[in-house]
Amino acid sequence: MRTKTISGVNVPAALREVGRLMGDDALVLRTHHTGAGADIVVTTSDEVFRFGSLLRNSVPRRKSGRRPRVIALVGPTGSGKTTTLAKLGLSEHAFGWGRVGLISLDTYKIGALEQIQTYADVGGMPLELVRDPSEVPGVLSRYANCDTILIDTPGRTPRATATERSWRDTLKAFEPDETHLVLSAGVRLHVAESARSDYSDLALTHSLLTKLDEIPNEAGVAEVAAQLGLPANWITDGQLVPDDLHEASDRIMAAAFRSGVTDSRLELYG
């Protein structure tokens, strides 16, 4: 979402400048007090519409054929992929209404399989650990009666060793219908941009921001979503499984317009 920061010696002066430069089309997102006065972050109704349309541009995707819908979660270590996977599999607002199969590609993290196995047992969901692309056809055959397959992945990046990156080839063999980049909502903007670049070879289709409960007033959440520039179906805001999974677009748009003083200014996003 494109925004502009307009300054003045105080808030009233900055607002007058907003009116002079942008007229009635200006929408104020938030104010920021500086040592020299005040900054007001503004956008336009057209930009709000464009950003909202981007977030909601999330028609369910499915490859050709009659196989289950395959959805993968990727992202750095600590972003909350495994817990989010469990929320998606168990929530009736996501995929808990149907038959869900779980796949883990994480052969590196100690205890990773045990963690996801606990959730699989709670939901009566089958779980398999897949190590090699050659195993994929057999897994898809065994999961043919599922409505949805959810895939958990390791927290690795292209800077990892070739051995650690082997899970990427396995994921590509599944040909996911959707690949969601999972990031903590509190990441810095350059980290979000770097993460999207790191996982760009996996044909990202969505973003999924987590840990909104750790962000005071949810400041900056919309900026991270704008930086990623991807549709978003869900966000998470706590550890409760599956309760802390929510629809994304309205929450992110609300964060964009939440009033209050922030400690950083919005940049111009394209």
Digitized pLDDT (tens) for each residue of the chain, 270 residues in all: 677 788 888 888 888 888 888 877 777 777 777 877 888 777 777 777 777 888 887 666 666 567 899 999 999 988 999 999 999 999 998 999 999 999 999 877 666 788 889 999 999 999 999 999 999 999 999 999 999 999 999 986 556 666 667 899 999 999 999 999 999 999 998 999 999 999 999 999 999 999 999 988 887 888 899 889 999 999 999 999 999 999 998 899 888 776 433 333 333 333
Q: How many residues does the chain have?
A: 270
DSSP state of 68: P
Q: How far is 188 from 223, CA to CA, in rounded Å?
A: 10
Range of the domain at 29: 4-51
Same domain, 228 and 149: yes
Q: Give a yes or no: residue 269 inside a domain.
A: no
Q: What is d(CA 18, CA 77) in angstroms, rounded to the nearest whole number?
A: 42
155 and 44, same domain (yes or no): no
Q: Is the pTM of this model over 0.85?
A: no
Starting at the edge strand found earlier in the chain, the sheet holding 26-34 runs: 4-8, 37-44, 26-34
218 and 175 together in one domain: yes
Does the residue 267 lie in any domain? no
The verdict on 47 and 116 lying in the same domain is no
Q: How many domains does the chain have?
A: 2
162 and 79 part of one domain: yes
